[in-house]
Amino acid sequence: TWTTSGVVEEQIALVRAQVGDRRAICGLSGGVDSAVAAALVQRAIGDRLTCVYVDHGLMRKGETEQVEKDFVAATGVKLKVVDASERFLAALEGVSDPEQKRKIIGREFIRVFEQAQAEIIAEAPGDQPVEFLVQGTLYPDVVESGGGTGTANIKSHHNVGGLPEDLQFQLVEPLRKLFKDEVRMVGQELGLPEEIVQRQPFPGPGLGIRIVGEVTRERLDLLREADAIAREELTAAGLDREIWQCPVVLLADVRSVGVQGDGRTYGHPVVLRPVSSEDAMTADWSRLPYDVLARISTRITNEVKDVNRVVLDVTSKPPGTIEWE
C-alpha cells in the first residue's frame, strides 16, 4: 500500500544508489515541485547537493526571501542565490511581445544557471564531479513529454523555458511517479513549511508575463504591490484552496481617467484573473464573493500609486488562457 513515508524512504534509497558519492545541483524556482525534489535529494545526499536559485527580479513580493529563509531553515540545504535582476531587465528593455519575452527570460535563465553551475564546480574542483541535475518532474509531465527517460528529457514549458538540450547531466527525478497532491504530501512529510507545500502555481517567467507591455522596474513594483494585496485578501478570506490561482495583470499600456481626492487621475487598470481548475488545461473563472472583490479593489486603488481601476476577467479557458501572455 502507498504511504508517504514509504515513498520517501524508497526514493531516498534510489537517489543514493544513483548518485553514489558524486555531486548534484538543483534549480529552485520557488515552486512546490522543485522544492520537494530538492528536499528529498538533500535528505539522501546532504551537502553534496547544491541548490541554485536565480532571482530574475520578476518574482512576487516575499518570494525570494521565502526560498532564502524558510526553505533553507526547513531543510538545511546548501543554497546559491544569484541576483540577476539587472541582467533580465536589461534584456527585456523595449520588448512587449509575449513570446519574445518568454524566449528572452528563458535564454537569460539558462545563461545564469550555467554560470552558477560553473562556479559551484570551480569552488571545489577537487571534489567528486557534479554529474547530476535534480528536476521536479511529476508523473503528468512524464506522460506529456512521451514517457521517455534519459539525459535531456525536459519538457519545453518547464519552468523558465527548459534547460538546454546539450546540458551534460544525468537527471535525478525523484517525483516522476507522483501526482501533485502526492508531492504536497511528500513535502509535508519532509517538514517543508505550509506556505511552500500549498503554494499555488506561478509561471516561471513570473511577473514578466503579467505586464501587458514593456517590463520595467517601476511597473514591476506596481504589479508586485497589487498582487500582494490580492493574495493577502484571498488568504484572509480563506479562499486559497478553493481557487487554483489568481493572476493579477497590469495593463501597462492602457490608461483611463479616474478621480481621487479632489484630483483627476490618469492611471492604469489591473485585471484580477481568479480561476478554478483541475489541471490548468481547462479552467473556469472563480465566482469570488463580491465583498472580497470589493476589498481587493478598494485596497489596490488606495494603496498602489498609478493604479486607478480594478477589473475582473470573466473568461473561461478555453477560449482564454489563464495567463494573459
Residue whose grid cell is 520578476: 58
- Closest approach, Cβ 31 to ligand XMP, in A, equals 7
Amino acid sitting at position 314: V
- By beta-carbon proximity to ligand XMP, the closer residue of 45 and 288 is 288
Integer angstrom CA distances of residue 243 from 176, 234, 306: 25, 9, 28
- Closest approach, Cβ 201 to ligand XMP, in A, equals 4
- By beta-carbon proximity to ligand XMP, the closer residue of 159 and 301 is 159
* Ligand-binding site membership of 32 (annotated): yes
Map residue 24 onto helix, strand or coil.
strand
Buried b (16+ CB within 10 A) or exposed e, 18-28: bbeeebbbbbb
- Closest approach, Cβ 184 to ligand XMP, in A, equals 15
Amino acid sitting at position 255: R
- By beta-carbon proximity to ligand XMP, the closer residue of 7 and 35 is 35
What residues make contact with ligand XMP under the rule CB under 6 A?
A: 157, 159, 201, 203-205, 245, 280, 317, 321-323
* Ligand-binding site membership of 30 (annotated): yes
- Closest approach, Cβ 106 to ligand XMP, in A, equals 8
* Ligand-binding site membership of 34 (annotated): yes
Q: How far apart are CA 139 and CA 147, in angstroms?
A: 9
- Closest approach, Cβ 325 to ligand XMP, in A, equals 8
- By beta-carbon proximity to ligand XMP, the closer residue of 113 and 130 is 113
Q: How far apart are CA 230 and CA 242, in angstroms?
A: 15
The H-or-E segment that residue 65 falls in is helix 63-65
* Ligand-binding site membership of 238 (annotated): no
Q: How far apart are CA 280 and CA 73, in angstroms?
A: 31
The β-bridge partners of 266 are 257
* Ligand-binding site membership of 35 (annotated): yes
- By beta-carbon proximity to ligand XMP, the closer residue of 131 and 313 is 313
* Ligand-binding site membership of 33 (annotated): yes
- Closest approach, Cβ 1 to ligand XMP, in A, equals 32
Integer angstrom CA distances of residue 315 from 22, 256, 282, 285, 312: 50, 22, 11, 6, 9
**Which string of DSSP letters, residue by residue, matches 195-264?**
HHHTPPP--TTGGGGSEES---HHHHHHHHHHHHHHHHHHHHTT-TTTSSB--EEEETT--EEEEETTEE
Report the half-sphere exposure of 240 (CA within 13 A, side-chain side).
14
- By beta-carbon proximity to ligand XMP, the closer residue of 27 and 204 is 204
- Closest approach, Cβ 45 to ligand XMP, in A, equals 26
- By beta-carbon proximity to ligand XMP, the closer residue of 4 and 96 is 96
The H-or-E segment that residue 60 falls in is none
Nearest to 150 by CA among 138, 175, 167: 167
Residues in binding site for ATP:
29-35
Residues in binding site:
29-35
